[in-house]
Amino acid sequence: MRHLRVNGQLEAPPLPMAHRLRPIVATALARDGHAPTPSVAAAPWPASHFGLDKVTVYLAATPARRRRVLAGCAADVLTEAFFVEKLGIGFAAKMTLLSLTSDERTVYALLGADEARHMAAVAAHLGERPDAAGTAPEDPFLTLLARAIDTGRRTTLAFLVQVVLEGWGIVHYCRLSRGAVDPALRATLAGIVKDEALHHGGGLAVLGRDGLSPADRRAAEAAVVPLLAMIRVGPQRVVARLDETLGPLGRRERTQVFAELDTERRTGEQLAVLRGFLGRAPALVARLERLGLFLPLSPAQCATVADDGSRAGGDLR
Ligand SMILES: [Fe+2]
Ligand SMILES: [Fe+2]
């Protein structure tokens, strides 16, 4: 665990300041119609959402252990969403400063307010804020995103964050919303989907017809290559939760788990979605295609990644 830097600033203030600000945040959110904290469901998504209903080792476990696996998988999904929304606030702040017109500045200021509401809404479903201690998880995907936001230029960031990641976020949150058992969580996620669609549209407008310059494309590629590598390795986090609760799993068991999780089909679908949103940069897509980065790894390859302990992080589901 460590502090996560965004735009050169430590995000966690000293605790006394956090306590003083908490009522201000609550009042501002309430004024915007933010609902009070909902009760936290023990298992917000069923086993089938993660593909666990086909996994032998999961089905053979006791009900208590199955609940623990499911709760862990749900916490991973919500924690990742919390930190992505938090980075979105930093992204909006940077883009507000880089804006070329009053309209653009307004769009990014409002986008930042949306991300702040999303972060609060996701935190409410987690029960406690995952950064309460002023730390963020050592997560390769979050680190990659934070670095991209920190160093990226206006057009590259509009493409990378809004067109690609928020485009992908629409599909991701939609799937999370449809699969959620708890109606409050379903409504929260459906609301986020609508906002992300607007953010995605804003990115397309900023990008305009000209798209990316060669320099922007190279900068985008530097972020997209590791991103795709993280996705190709399949649902490593789900397998890590199985390993933690029901393991340790050997290499053969892991391979079987990845096969039963239908990793190639599910991951292939995710890569196809991302490929679609990258389509605004055809030269980049062609290059990524040549590198084979839209191909999911096999179950045996995914198991090797897990075995090496080099989890690539963003299984993003
Ligand atoms: Fe958001
Ligand atoms: Fe967004």
Q: What average pLDDT does this structure show over 39-45?
A: 74
Burial code of 184-222, b = ≥16 C-beta within 10 A, e = fewer?
bbbebbebbbebbbbbbebbeebbeeebbeeebbebbbb
- Model pLDDT, residue 67: 94
What span, in angstroms and rounded, lies between the C-alpha atoms of 299 and 294? 16
Asked if 124 and 26 touch (Cβ cutoff 8 Å), the reply is no
Please check the confidence at residue 272 and state whether its pLDDT lies above 60.
yes
What span, in angstroms and rounded, lies between the C-alpha atoms of 235 and 268? 12
- Model pLDDT, residue 18: 66
Q: How far is the CA of 119 from the centre of ligand 2 (A)?
A: 10
Please check the confidence at residue 58 and state whether its pLDDT lies above 90.
yes
Q: Of 99, 225, 210, whose CA–CA distance to 157 is shortest?
A: 99
Q: What average pLDDT does this structure show over 65-75?
A: 94
Q: How far is the CA of 230 from the centre of ligand 1 (A)?
A: 21
**DSSP secondary-structure letter at 134?**
S
- Model pLDDT, residue 245: 94
In the chain, % of residues over pLDDT 90: 71
- Model pLDDT, residue 135: 65
Residue 226 CA from chain centroid, whole number: 15
Tokens representing 116 are 């702040």
Which listed ligand is nearest to 192 at the C-alpha? 1
Which listed ligand is nearest to 92 at the C-alpha? 2
Q: What average pLDDT does this structure show over 121-150?
A: 84
Quick check: helix, strand or coil at residue 99? coil
Quick check: helix, strand or coil at residue 6? strand
What span, in angstroms and rounded, lies between the C-alpha atoms of 206 and 104? 8
- Model pLDDT, residue 2: 42
Per-residue model confidence as pLDDT tens digits over 72-111: 999 999 999 999 999 999 999 999 999 999 999 999 999 9
What span, in angstroms and rounded, lies between the C-alpha atoms of 114 and 93? 12
Q: How far is the CA of 116 from the centre of ligand 2 (A)?
A: 10
What span, in angstroms and rounded, lies between the C-alpha atoms of 128 and 123? 6
- Model pLDDT, residue 9: 42
Per-residue model confidence as pLDDT tens digits over 193-232: 999 999 999 999 998 877 889 999 999 999 999 999 999 9
What rounded mean pLDDT belongs to the chain? 87
Which listed ligand is nearest to 198 at the C-alpha? 2
> Under 8 Å CB-to-CB from 186, ≥6 apart: which residues?
177, 178, 180
Which listed ligand is nearest to 191 at the C-alpha? 1
Per-residue model confidence as pLDDT tens digits over 235-266: 999 999 999 999 799 999 999 999 999 999 99
Report the predicted TM-score, pTM, of the whole model to 2 decimal places. Answer: 0.88
User: Locate tokens 């997560």: which residue?
Assistant: 139
Asked if 294 and 273 touch (Cβ cutoff 8 Å), the reply is no
- Model pLDDT, residue 15: 64
Looking at domain 51-308, which CATH architecture does it have? Up-down Bundle (1.20)
Asked if 151 and 178 touch (Cβ cutoff 8 Å), the reply is no
Instruction: Count Cβ atoms within 10 A of the Cβ of residue 180 and give its class: 0-12 exposed, 13-18 middle, 19 or more buried.
Output: buried
- Model pLDDT, residue 11: 57
Please check the confidence at residue 309 and state whether its pLDDT lies above 60.
no
In the chain, % of residues over pLDDT 70: 86
> Is the model more confident about 34 or about 76?
76
